[in-house]
Amino acid sequence: MESLTIGQVAKLAGVGVETIRFYERQGLLPKPPRAASGYRRYTRDAVARLRFIARAKELLFTLDEIKHLLAIHDDPAGTRAEVRAWTDQKAEVIDRQAQALLAAREALARLRGRASGTARRAAARSCSPSR
């Protein structure tokens, strides 16, 4: 089985070495065995796992949610139905967040429309000499 250094894994997965160490500390990536030289020796599975984590982050999963998805994957009794349920739940959360963001955007547009030109008139009034 091919073994890779942490630098090789980082390059293949498109992440930094410190990111790999962080994921190990967080329990997202198993700590690899060490060679006689003391260097960590990774397999290609680590690269695939790191790519999965990166993709899940792009899909707005939190690290805790990713950890849960990985636990389902690692569990021989884990099912695709469980993964589908988690992804459906995440999609619902994102839908609610998107609706809230759109509502905020619309509120900002209304505020901007009401403020249009008002600031100049108010500033002009405050600068004009009193009678």
Number of C-beta neighbours around residue 9 at 10 A: 24
Say which residues have a Cβ less than 8 Å from residue 79's Cβ, sequence separation at least 6: 72
Residue 123: HSE in the Cβ half-sphere, 13 Å Cα cutoff:
6
Q: Which two tokens stand for residue 111?
A: 């505020």
Q: What is the pLDDT of residue 118?
A: 53
Over residues 102-110, the mean pLDDT reads 94
Q: Could you tell me which of 68, 32, 35 has the C-alpha nearest to residue 47?
A: 32
Query: Rounded to an integer, what distance in angstroms lies between the CA atom of residue 109 and that of residue 101?
Result: 12
Q: What is the pLDDT of residue 126?
A: 53
The single-letter DSSP state of residue 97 is H
Over residues 69-91, the mean pLDDT reads 91
Residue 43 has pLDDT above 80, yes or no: yes
120: confidence class by pLDDT, cuts 50, 70, 90? low
